[in-house]
Each structure stands twice: as C-alpha cells, then as structure tokens.
Structure 1
Amino acid sequence: MSARPKRLLAILLMTSGLVATSALADDTHGLAAPVSAAPAAKPVPVDKPEKSDNALIAELPADSVTHHDLTLAAGHLGYTATAGTLTLRDDEGAPSAKVFYVAYVADGQQVARRPVSFFFNGGPGAGTAFLHLGAAGPVVLNFPAANPTDGANAQLGPNPDSWLRFTDMVFIDAVGTGYSLPEKPAKAPKQFWGVKQDGSAFADAIRLWLEANRRQRSPKYLVGESYGGIRSIKTAYALQTEQNIPLAGIVMISPAIEMNLIGSTDNPLADAILLPSLAAAALERDHKLTPQAVDDAYRYAFGPYLSTLAGPPLGADAAHDFYGKVAAMTGLPEAVVAKERAQIDPQAHDVRSRDGRLYSLYDGTLSIADPYPEGIDNGDSPEPVLAGYGLAYGNAFTGYVEDALGFRTDLKYDLLNLAVNKAWDYKEGGDLISRGMPDLRKLMAVNPSLRVFIANGYFDLTCPFSGSRWLIEHMPVGRDRVRLKVYPGGHMLYTRPDSRAALAHDVSALYTGSP
C-alpha cells in the first residue's frame, strides 16, 4: 500500500485566508447603534505611543464601547460590548503585541458572582469569529436551512442561544490572527507561535482584562475549539502557575487534546478513534443513527478492529471478512477499504467521493457536488468547509464589528493566518508534538473544584469524538469532573441550530453546578 498522507494540523480549523461573499444585512439586527459611553467597569488603560516595528499597529482604532439589548426566552438582557486591544509586554516591559478582543458584560449584575468566560479558536492561526458568531455571542450567523453549505446567503441575526444569559464573555484573537498584531513581526514566531508561549500569552491577556475590569473575584472559565482544546489546557496551566489564577472550568468544543491521536499516520489507535465517526456518518445518511448503534461501533473499534490492525497479517478469507465488516459499517466500497487495508484515510478522494458528491472532513454527512467525480489527486479536491461556507464567518464578522460595535479599521481580519499555521512550533519539552493530557492531569489534581465539559460532533472526522471519550476513560484523577456530550453535527456542530441550542443548555449546567 502506498504511504498515506498525514492528517495535518492545518485541517483542524476552519478555513483559509480567502475572502467570502456572505450576505450581511444593512441593519444591526436589533442591536443598538454604537454610542460613546464609558463602561461601568474600569476601562482598559490607553498606552502612550511607543515605537513599533509593525506599521499596521497604527491602523488599530481606539477601543469602542457600545450598549445593546438581547431578547431571550426569559426576557430582555441589556449588555455592554467593548471591542478593543490589550497590550502585551515582554520581560523588559516593552510592548510585544496588541491583542484584539471583544467583551460582552451583562448590565446590572453582581460581578463577584457573575462568571466570565474567555474564548479562543485554534488552527493554530484561527481567529475567534467562529465561536463568536457561530456558538456563543449575542449575534449568530445562520446558514440557509435548505442548503447549509451556502455561505453566500448566510445572514446575521440575534442569537437566542447566546451564552450571555449565564456568563459574561471575552473573545480573544491570538497574535497574528483577527486584528491581533505583533509589535515586532520578525520576533513573532519565537515570541508567540508555539505551544508554551501561546498559552503564556493568552494567560497574560486574560490577567490584563481581569485587572482592568476588576473581575478578579469572578468565577473564570476558558472556552476553546479544535486546537483551542490544547490551547485551553496550556492557558489554564499558565494561569495557574504563572499568573496565580485558578479556574472554575474549561469548555472544549471539538478539541484536539493529544495530537498523536489525530495527526499521526499508520497508527492503529488513531484509526480506531476515527472509525466510530465514519460509522456514525453512515448511520446518519441511512437515517439509522442511535446512541446504541454508535456505542456498538465504538466498542467494535476498540475491540476486534484494533486488535486485528495490531495483530498479524490476515489470510485472504479473513481479510475479505474484515474488510467487508468495515465497509458495511462505514458505507465505503469494500474495494476502497481493502486498498486502505481498513486504515481509512478520510482525506483520500475515493473515501470522500460517492455518487457524484464530495463529503467533508469536518462533517461526514455534509457534501457538495464533486467537481472531479472521475477521480483526482487528494490535494486538488476542495474541502466544503475549509474552502467553502466556513469562509463566510470572516466577512460577516468584519461587517458586524464595524457596524454594530463601532470598531472601524481598514485592516484585514485574519480569519485564518496560514503563515502562523505553517510557522507553529508543536514541540514542548521532550515531546515532538504537543500533548494536553499531562497538564490536564496536573490541573485536575491541584484544583479539586475544576470542572471540564467536552463537546464533540458525531460526524467530525478531524477531531473524532472517540478521542475525547477514550482519553476521559483513561484519566486517573478527576474523571468524575469531566463530562463529554456528543451532538448531531460535525466539527462546527453549532452550525446546526438544534445542536447549538443543546450545547448552550448543557454548558449552562457546568456554570450552575448541575449534573
């Protein structure tokens, strides 16, 4: 069998640097127009101008504070939005970066008891527009129900499932993404674009916001998506050990936690982790998806399937039976399974292409017309999310932050900076690729009140739900404080309205301490 291509981290989230043409309505969808008013909390201090090697820094406007009203099932909720930047500094006190953030603070709340959550996406190199407009913010980007891959006709509207009803929110873009800019671009890779320094930078930004807004006593949560899973763990560890800030909880959505379980090739354990998601997608396409059927696929994957892959080579008859079983579970042709020797590469064109449709790595049930139904090299086959509707979040966010939040700039919002992704240093200590579980184990041990919620989509082939389940099952400490919930959907499970609503409901239980 020919060498299988690596499942590169570049597929983890979410889109490329292309510009989409999603529709953005002219009004602000019920949001109040921006006004110049000081927030109730202490504003972020404005730094004196200091020399920067990055001319784009001068294009960042002053912080903008606006007031809005959100209609929820329980009534109206007034809130204050701040779109602005935080200044990170190096060990000598010199500015090292301007970090863009958007904060939403509910009006009239007791801040000592009101939780505050800090959001970030992954990539690495992705901005927070996905979680911001997709899951938790007060405004959501809705895709046409008749064609969820149609980003050109996506529309912004109020989010009835906004997390603002149970937590204040701060969305932070990593340096090099969104509107976050390094002061010295030549030093950015060493300063920011690596596992440990990234966690430290986010921890520092969080400390700055907490101090400026007098929120040190508030319960604190982190929310990360995709590579943001590892990022949330590393940031939590940096907050605990570098900033003296313990957390109340961590929420991970479609997380990458152990890269060797999703980014490796010819790894039987990684193959076993992928198989139940392939099976779940096939069940959904056949309208047979049930929790029991998925659980059966999980047990087969980590039982007979894994032992067969790791065992001695099969004889002809046994191989035929094995490949037939895997083909029946995944809905793939037996010839394709045999060619892959049952170690399915989800990027392969003949795995993704069926009956003239091309299926997504991010959602195994979502497809577009295959532009190459006759077959093509894997690298030339487009990804419906990566190069498709996911791009709509970038254009929509640019319009929203300017029109509704009053943060106006000619700078491009970097939805995914591929230069950051390419330059990322995954090494940490003696590990050649980043790992989250060692630090999570320590956090769960030293912070006995820390609770973790993990959300996965059944049909996500990039960060399969089985990886989260298997890791939780093998946690030696704190397992009773980690909850996993799997939803109908893919990597961006929140693009499905029902799953977005269920996610908000389930996450709120983490904040209230409900089981």
Structure 2
Amino acid sequence: MNIIYRSLLIMGALIASTMAAQADDKGIQDPFPEEVTKVTEHSIKIAGERIKYTATAGTSFVFNKQQEKIGNIFYVAYTKKDAERNRPITFAYNGGPGSASVWLHMGTFGPKRVLMDKEGFMPKPPYQAVDNAYSLLDETDIVFIDPVGTGYSRPGGKGTYQDFHGTWEDIRSVSEFIRLYLTRNDRWSSPKYLAGESYGTLRSAGIAYHMGQNLGVNFNGIILISSVLNSTLDEFDAGVNIQAPITLLPTYTATAFYHKKLDGQFDSVQAAIAEAKRFAMNEYALALLQGDQLADSQKQQIAEKLSQLTGLSKELILLNNLIIDMSTFVHQLRRDEGLTIGRLDSRFVTEEVDAMKQAGYRDPSYMAIHGPYTETLMDYLNTELKFKSDLVYYILGGLIQSWNTSEFARDSFDMSRKLRHAMLRNPDMKVFVANGYYDMATPFFSTEYNFSHMGLPKSLRGNIMMTYYESGHMMYVREADLIKLKQDMREFFKFSTNR
C-alpha cells in the first residue's frame, strides 16, 4: 500500500519467514505463561565516565480493559545504578510494523553495538558486539520494547494477534506496556521520552497523543529517527499524488552525487540537495501540476533538468512522463554496470544479472545488516543478559500477516495530526528528528514537507529540532554519523530538560 506496510515486503525473504513463523508457533497458546526476567550487572565508559548499570531482560504481561492477560511483551531495560528516581527514562522501539527493537538497541542507543566497518558496510563473519561509547546511558535510562509479533513477544491468555496488529491496536498495547512499567518501577516522576525509528516514529506520535489524552502522561521529548508520519507522501499515483516525486527528488540527487552520476556539477552533497530542493518546489512542482496541459517545450526542459539532477537519461524520464518512481531509480541509476542500489541506504549496491527481470527486490542495505545484527543480538541475549528461549526471535516481519488500518484511515493516514494535538496539549514537549540524506524509505524532504504542513502555531515550531546525516535510514551504522547523532542527542536532552 505505502512505505510503512510495503516495508515488510522489501527487506529480505519475508514470505519464507512468515511461513516458518506459522509452523514454529503452531499450537503454542501461551509461550510465556508467567513473567520471566533476568537481571545482570554491568559497567561502561561513556565520555570519560564509568557508568554502572543494571540490565533487565524479560517479559511483561499486557492486559485488556477487563484486566485479562492478552499477551507478553519482551523488553530489555538498562538503568543506571544508584541514580535518583527522577533520572530521565526513554522507551525505544523500531518500525516495520513488525520489527524488533534490535536496530536502535544494538546500533546506537544501547550499551553494546554491532561492529560494522567505518562506513557502515558489512564486516566479515563472525560478527561481534563492542562497548558502545556513544550510548545514551549517560543521559537516560532506556527500555527497549519488542511489540507483539516481534522478538520474543507473543499473544497469550485471552489474546490473539488481532489484538495487536493494527495501527491503533499497536499504539494502545505499547502504551499499556509503558504505563505498567512506569507503575511497577516507580518512574512516574521521571522525565519521560519516546524514541522510535521508521514506523516507530508514527507509533511515537500516536503514543504521545493516546497517553496524554487518555492516561494523563506528558512526555518531555520524542525522538524520531528516520521519520514517517504521513504514509501517503510516498504514493506514486500518477495524476493524483504529485508529492512523492517532488519530495523524493532531493534524495535521488544526493544518491546520484554519491555515485558520481552528476558530472561534477556540485562541490558537495549539500549544494546538490539545495539545487534539487529549489527545482522541486518551483519548476518541477509547477510542471507536474499542469499534467497533460504542460507544453512540449517545457516538458523537454524539465526532463533535461531532471536528468542533470538524477543521473538518469532524458529519454527514460520522458518515457515515464517526468515521474520517476523509486523502483525505476534504484534499478536504473547503475544498471549499465549491472548494479542495483539500496532503498534503506542508497550508498549500498548489489550485483544483478538483469535487475529489472529479477523476482522481487533484494535491498543491499538491508542484506548488509540483517546477518550481523541477528547473530550478534542472539549471542548477546544468551551470554551476557542470560535470557534464553527456544522461541524464534523475530527480527523483522516474521509474525505480521495483516495490519488493521481502519482507524488510521480516519486520520487520512497522517499521524502528524495526532502529534500536533499532543504538542498543543503539552507545549513543553520537544521533538527531535534525525534524517539521512541517502534514505529512500523515509526521505528527508518528505519529512520536512510533513512538518511544515502540520499547522503548528509559531510558538511551537521552535520545539522541533531537525538534524541530518550523510548516510541512510539507519544513519548510525556509519561511525561518523553515530558520533554526530550522539552529539546531537546530547544537545536535545539539554534542550528538552532546560539544562
């Protein structure tokens, strides 16, 4: 349907994974009849300070309105030892829907991270986890959450997957976990944060609205990594939606610059992006608005400029009526070299004999992280956190077979409406937005467009902090951006707590 729900289809062999999941869990009614926790003690050095912390890996029941158990959510919580009760606490998760929290957990925020090469490309196996000197543990306690159907989280008791697998079902169930964690661990008085990546950003906006509106919980800040709040902005529906080709163009240009397809027109990726933005919001937008009424001479000029900004041929652009969808771009930019580029991170490439004739799409940027993150996480959970289970730990998509969007449809598939409501209700809440230049899954210009059309009063626009990185969807896989992200996050915590 769109980027959020399509994401499960483009990241590896998920159909096979789903079939395996069905077979694996067949007949299992309640894999965790009791709550299970494993507590271990650790320390890590961050910014010159040795921090002692407790790690709790476990499952927490989820209840319905009748206080009947409907599921178990697996989580890993890191809390600083001997800290004051009002220390900030951050609840973190990833996207999909159908992704475990492994990426934020083992990529950037947690005390351990998967070791990639400096540019974020896959190292040779066996893979390893190292102490993460750029963890957020010096700023906040962190609870990583795996929504039901991901990781080790499953329905149980009176619950079924239908209780969890929908936009608002997901928001309410994760909110219930957060409420229960705050209560059980005496953290109601702590400064509270939400951190989500990809679909997790949509989840964060919904949780901030739902918990503020219905549970009286106000958050100090929301951290949006590779944001997608409006799931219609990437729809390439010729004649109906012209936003997608406009808002994706700067990402195409950044990608073409990286792959040296712009004939040396620009001195930097920032200069290339600036020109793409200018053209997208002016000549290109006006041309697409005219549709078939666009004069042929103007069409030729627009196609020539698009060719200069994308590295694609003018003939191909004219053949596609000036609208370059993502599939065309990833397959065509380096097709003459037999290469397809990545969607999550367009710096990555993979070889194809003939990319346009291959069944499905193998995203090289996902293939590069899937193995290292899976192997490293499983070893870490078993050996250091002492949490063992015979269940399959679903990294991405394994148990998500359908997703209910009926309630979301009433908001026109745009969760920024709920984020605006949450910000109006809680005007002290700050929002951090991290964008990767080479992210075609959640393009940065689409995010800018969404935030500039939220209708926020001027008094609240300053609550939003936008940052940018020279990598993709998971910008933290590149070491320089991992470091920059931590520096930016440190500033955000100061910004949101008035330190």
TM-score between the two structures when normalised by the length of structure 2:
0.88
**Counterparts in 2 of 1:37-436, with a 5 A limit?**
54-55=28-29, 57-58=31-32, 62-112=36-86, 114-145=87-118, 148-150=121-123, 152-183=125-156, 187-189=160-162, 191-266=163-238, 267-286=241-260, 288-313=267-292, 314-348=294-328, 350-351=331-332, 353-354=334-335, 355-368=337-350, 370-372=351-353, 374-377=354-357, 379-420=359-400, 422-428=401-407, 431=410, 434-436=413-415
State whether structure 2 residue 463 is matched by structure 1 residue 467: no
Aligned positions, number: 474
Answer whether contact 2:38 2:56 (CA < 8 A) is retained: yes
**Gap runs ≥5 in structure 2:** 16-26
Amino acid at match of 2:253: A
Match of 1:503 in 2: 485
In 2, Cα distance between equivalents of 1:413 and 1:14:
20
1:351 CA drift (Å): 2.7
**3-state SS of 2:42 partner:** strand
Q: Which moved more, 1:87-96 or 1:443-452?
A: 87-96
Answer whether contact 1:12 1:462 (CA < 8 A) is retained: no
Answer whether contact 1:16 1:416 (CA < 8 A) is retained: no
Q: Kindly tell me: are residues 269 and 429 of structure 1, through their superposed partners in 2, closer, same or farther at Cα, counting changes over 3 Å?
A: closer
Answer whether contact 2:339 2:349 (CA < 8 A) is retained: yes
Match of 1:49 in 2: none
Q: Kindly tell me: are residues 131 and 147 of structure 1, through their superposed partners in 2, closer, same or farther at Cα, counting changes over 3 Å?
A: closer
Amino acid at match of 1:218: S
Answer whether contact 1:83 1:102 (CA < 8 A) is retained: yes
> By percentage of residues, which structure has more helix?
2
- Describe the superposition over 1:316-363 as per-residue Cα deviations: whole angstroms up to 9, x where unpaired: 433222112111101122233222222111123643543222200112
Match of 1:494 among 473, 476, 493: 476
In 2, Cα distance between equivalents of 1:401 and 1:93:
30
1:160 CA drift (Å): 1.0
1:285 CA drift (Å): 2.9
1:11 CA drift (Å): 2.1
Match of 1:25 in 2: none
- Describe the superposition over 1:373-410 as per-residue Cα deviations: whole angstroms up to 9, x where unpaired: x3433643421133443343222211111111010111
Amino acid at match of 2:363: E
Q: Kindly tell me: are residues 433 and 121 of structure 1, through their superposed partners in 2, closer, same or farther at Cα, counting changes over 3 Å?
A: farther
Answer whether contact 2:8 2:396 (CA < 8 A) is retained: no
Amino acid at match of 1:481: N
Q: Kindly tell me: are residues 170 and 97 of structure 1, through their superposed partners in 2, closer, same or farther at Cα, counting changes over 3 Å?
A: same
Amino acid at match of 1:371: E
Q: Which moved more, 1:140-149 or 1:6-15?
A: 6-15
**3-state SS of 1:386 partner:** helix
**3-state SS of 1:411 partner:** coil
Answer whether contact 1:194 1:424 (CA < 8 A) is retained: yes
**3-state SS of 2:451 partner:** helix
In 2, Cα distance between equivalents of 1:155 and 1:411:
22
TM-score between the two structures when normalised by the length of structure 1:
0.86
Q: Percent identity?
A: 29
Q: Kindly tell me: are residues 72 and 96 of structure 1, through their superposed partners in 2, closer, same or farther at Cα, counting changes over 3 Å?
A: same
Q: What is the CA RMSD across the aligned residues, in angstroms?
A: 2.6
Q: Kindly tell me: are residues 7 and 256 of structure 1, through their superposed partners in 2, closer, same or farther at Cα, counting changes over 3 Å?
A: closer
Amino acid at match of 1:226: S
- Describe the superposition over 1:153-209 as per-residue Cα deviations: whole angstroms up to 9, x where unpaired: 5421111110111011000000110011101697322x1111112111111100111
1:498 CA drift (Å): 0.8
Q: Which moved more, 1:129-138 or 1:327-336?
A: 327-336
In 1, Cα distance between equivalents of 2:4 and 2:342:
15
In 1, Cα distance between equivalents of 2:306 and 2:164:
43
In 2, Cα distance between equivalents of 1:504 and 1:90:
37
- Describe the superposition over 1:451-484 as per-residue Cα deviations: whole angstroms up to 9, x where unpaired: 0000010011111001111122233322110111
